[in-house]
Structure 1
């Protein structure tokens, strides 16, 4: 499915042409497909999004959103996807043609907000974000592969000092979280920053072609509901 990068950025990052509830409704249908597939696109299609559920291996416990297999590096990413857009509580608008300075300010705002909330050492853990650091039960076909935690956000966010790299890495130890985890690194990917990298303020790529199997399935259901 081909999506217009500028329209995505304007709609999700700038609240353009958006009425109350629009972004949440669109994200509910498209969000996880969009964000996971954007990471696959970022990796040049060299990773595979698995269909297996990401479960804790017990009857109770937190689950995650996607497994992403990196065959080249023999890694399996257990992914938590956060579709938070500018319309979310505390969200900040950022235009598709924003300057580097404007983008850095928003990126820094979101990263500090996460450090003071979801990634704060003073909070309760695991929460809806730090659950990505809980080791999930591996799919049977990949039971002997190295696992890494990956947080995929829509919003422009990065732990890097310059704040413009779509993919950044955080030392889990540096977060001082009051929870047990076997992971030493946390990978953080921003879909918004990646699309901005492609778009280049209108001078770069206009469209992105991504896989949206769940979205297309939901559209078929909606079409059936409208059939007479």
Structure 2
């Protein structure tokens, strides 16, 4: 699944309606400073997160509709929307230009809602409530030059690099070698392991001391399986 088209209407520097088409694979934006390159990425963020910020609507267009529309294309869309969190989108996938498509839109007039294109009725509808399911439909990671390095040195699973690592290694995490690693970890550190038995008496001693001094306390040793990003 990839973004094949972006429609901006009165969004920041894009006055009135602008249609931007993309090709499958890598796309490049080339232009002078302040020509609107970053705005394209901000538009994707707006559609996904629904955050209203200063300067979102084109200057002089405050009374007009400001919206961002994205068309997703790809033969894998129907497979993607099988997930329970986003299955409401399944009825809105349509065939066009030899592939499957899904059109979604968010507008400042009803910023909490995400609208989906009904190709049969030729209109946008709001089948997903307040729009929280849009974050489950697709993720987007942006690396801006004006953000501090520390933001990209954090390998946590909710951070940019952590998400990229999980995405890149997703197939490996389903592989036999990784499953063997997980099984070995459970055998070594799990509740049925020799180590757990050795430490259980120690945890009880610590628990008794803590309970005497601070009140009822529970102490337990746990050796959780490392998340993929923790290996880096």
TM-score for the superposition, normalised by structure 2: 0.25
Q: Which has the larger radius of gyration?
A: 2
